[in-house]
Amino acid sequence: MPTKAQYTEPQTRQLADGRREVLDPVRRKWVALTPEEWVRQQVIHYLHHQLGYPLEVMQVEGSIKVNNMSRRCDIVVYATSGLPRMIVECKAPEVPLTQKTIDQACRYNTVLQVPLLMITNGKQTSVLEVDFEKGTLHTLSEVPRWNFFVTK
């Protein structure tokens, strides 16, 4: 994840009752500022400001059905073709990234069939490329820039 000096921080506000909110530029609304939401907003800003992802290709908290149960993906990135291309699973900074986190993203991917999975808690980030033919995951060294998705 980038340092604070590399881009503008997400905009926050404090309500009269003391609760804090952050402005989500994808959903275009203020949302409760939880530790997980802070990580989600950091990822959105990183993808947009550092890697060139248009906000319009991101879906936040999109609902999917997994084994007849409703689930929400933190972030799904779509290519210009309209096909989903990356699932981003965000955890709060104190939540360690474990096999359980990878399994969660993989379960979502049984529905979306994307080639890339990104899991992060804001301190650690893993980007995994899915090899559907072999049924394996390969770790990438970095998150691809937006142009990777433009024609895919």
Task: Give CA–CA dist 11/68, Å, rounded.
Answer: 36
Whether this model's pTM surpasses 0.75 = yes
- What does the pLDDT look like over 6-36, one tens digit per residue? 557 889 999 999 999 999 999 999 999 999 9
Q: What is the pLDDT of residues 131-150, one digit of tens each?
A: 999 989 999 999 999 987 77
Residues facing 77 on adjacent strands: 58, 86
Q: What percent of the chain has pLDDT over 70?
A: 94
Cβ pair 14, 22 in contact under 8 A: no
Distance CA(25)–CA(11), nearest Å, equals 9
DSSP SS3 for 100: helix
Average pLDDT over residues 95-110: 93
Tell me the pLDDT of the chain averaged across its residues: 91
Whether residue 5 has pLDDT greater than 70: no
Whether 32 contacts 45, CB under 8 Å:
no
Q: Does the pLDDT of residue 81 top 90, yes or no?
A: no
Contacts of 44 (CB under 8 A, 6+ apart): 10, 24, 25, 26, 55, 58, 60, 75
Amino acid 7: pLDDT? 56
Tokens of 112: 């979306």
The SS3 of residue 5 is helix
